[in-house]
A and B are shown apart, each in its own frame.
Chain A
Amino acid sequence: MENISELKQHLHAIEQTRQISNAMYLLSTSRMKKSMQNIEYNLSYLKRLRSTMKDIISKTKHNMLTDPYIELTENGKALFFVITSDKGLCGGYNSAVVRLAMEKMSEFSDPVLYSLGLKGTEMFTSHGIKPDGAWYGASQLPSLHLASDLGEDIISRYDSQDVSEVYIVYTEYINSAVQKPVCKRVLPLLRRDFDDVEYENKYDADVLYEPDLQTVFDQAVPQYIVGMMYDIIMQSAASENAARMTAMQNATKNADKMIAKLSEQINAVRQLVITNEITEIAAATQVQNNGV
């Protein structure tokens, strides 16, 4: 027969865990909603920026400008930027990103790896890959400041011809139930990346560039990269919280099931104890009566 006080202790522990998982569920829900608002606004910003970029890029073709930002050079290293979370308890969020990153990285010889997020760094290290650069703190506080730091870093590495391609592996937020790990090329920009952009306003044929087209384009690219980085870290943060929300929701449900099962068990054991006691008392009484 099981010990009733042991069962009670077990029940108590599960109740406490349930409280924690439920609190984390509520917290990640509110965090996710917060990043959602930023994503929405930033997407409309990016859309307008892309439409301007497309116009400038189509001009560069006519002027026969060769620009390092829009030319694909074959003979260089690829930089991979992998975005994961700093904390666990978010289901398969981190492992999915890392898996995709490793798959894509195997297509290149000697890729450079930047890892943003403690979990990703840990996972890569355990697979025997040492990241060339590691950051943390982004998933807790995704800020524009961080995005512009990262963007500037990427551009300066690209400018110094350290790397010739930059890819970012992150989790795209589709909705609160679906998040998809994706690998996105950030640099170089290719003309076909802008094929899907609708012109908001077609320019007149004659546009004045101040001071000149090259300078404007060189200014627009970092602007675009920073906007994109901001979108990417916000999407990652929203996905992380959505993944954690689902994981914690499941954990809470499981805890509820275990609590119900344990309570049933406790009741059964208690009933058994009482039955036994009654039987004992009855038997004792009978013996006593017979003895008289």
Chain B
Amino acid sequence: MSEFLLEIITPQKQFFSGMAEQVICQTENGEIGVLKGHRTMVASLIIGEIKLKVNGEWKNAYISGGFMEVRKDEVLVFSNCCEWPDEIDAAKAEESKRKTLELITHEQSVKEHRHNEIVLARALARLKVKKYMQ
């Protein structure tokens, strides 16, 4: 399978840079898989999981949303936060999930609801990515 250059960058670090065979991201409308030679595209990503196939092996990671820029033989992913499964603190995510579920029952404004939703989505996505590995 032919490869393309994949770069995942955050303001703090270069999360991944190297040749990949395929990358799968989550968008509002579902998952998008990108292979070499995909048409140029800019896609906005939701909080969730990013899967990449490197040297025939699938890796997955948590991603806090962002967007993906697909060029002829290069894919660039911008995100604020990315974590490999072994970087995820499952206990912390579990705690955040529990707390937010509690907060959601007595929230008072739309703004609060939106905030809680995001926090919950992050916690759930982290837990999902962590479980996937085990």
Would you give the 0/1 interface string for A198-225, flagging 1 where the beta carbon is closer than 8 Å to chain B?
0001011011111100011011100100
Inter-subunit contact B42/A41 (CB<8 Å): no
Q: Which of B11, B14, B44 contacts A227 (CB 8 A)?
A: B11
- List residues 87-113 of chain A with CB under 8 A from any CB of chain B: none
Q: Does A38 contact B (CB under 8 A)?
A: yes
Q: Which of A56, A147, A156 contacts B11 (CB 8 A)?
A: A147
Would you call the interface of chain A mostly helix, strand, loop, or mixed? helix
Q: A52-B78, A219-B65 are in contact. Are A208 and B41 (CB under 8 A)?
A: yes
Q: Does B40 contact A (CB under 8 A)?
A: yes
Q: A41-B12, A223-B67 are in contact. Are A156 and B111 (CB under 8 A)?
A: yes
A56 — which chain B residues lie within 8 A by C-beta?
42
Q: Which residue of B lies closest to A203 (CB)?
A: B40
Q: Which residue of B lies closest to A219 (CB)?
A: B44
Would you give the 0/1 interface string for B2-36, flagging 1 where the beta carbon is closer than 8 Å to chain A?
00000001111110000000000001110010000
Q: Does A258 contact B (CB under 8 A)?
A: no
Inter-subunit contact B76/A45 (CB<8 Å): no
Inter-subunit contact B44/A211 (CB<8 Å): yes
For chain B, give the interface size range. 20 to 34
Q: Which of B11, B28, B69, B76 contacts A215 (CB 8 A)?
A: B28
Q: Which residue of A lies closest to B12 (CB)?
A: A144
Q: A38-B12, A223-B78, A226-B80 are in contact. Are A206 and B28 (CB under 8 A)?
A: no
Q: Does B71 contact A (CB under 8 A)?
A: yes
Q: Does A60 contact B (CB under 8 A)?
A: no
Inter-subunit contact A207/B78 (CB<8 Å): no
Q: Does B93 contact A (CB under 8 A)?
A: no
Inter-subunit contact A216/B12 (CB<8 Å): no
Report the 5 A-B pairs with minimum CB-CB distance, sorted nearest first. Answer: A210-B43, A219-B44, A208-B41, A230-B11, A216-B44
Q: List 6 A-B contacts (CB under 8 A).
A: A38-B12, A49-B78, A144-B10, A144-B12, A223-B79, A227-B11
Q: A144-B12, A210-B41, A211-B43 are in contact. List 10 more A-B contacts (CB 8 A).
A: A45-B11, A48-B9, A52-B42, A144-B11, A156-B111, A203-B71, A208-B42, A211-B28, A220-B67, A231-B11
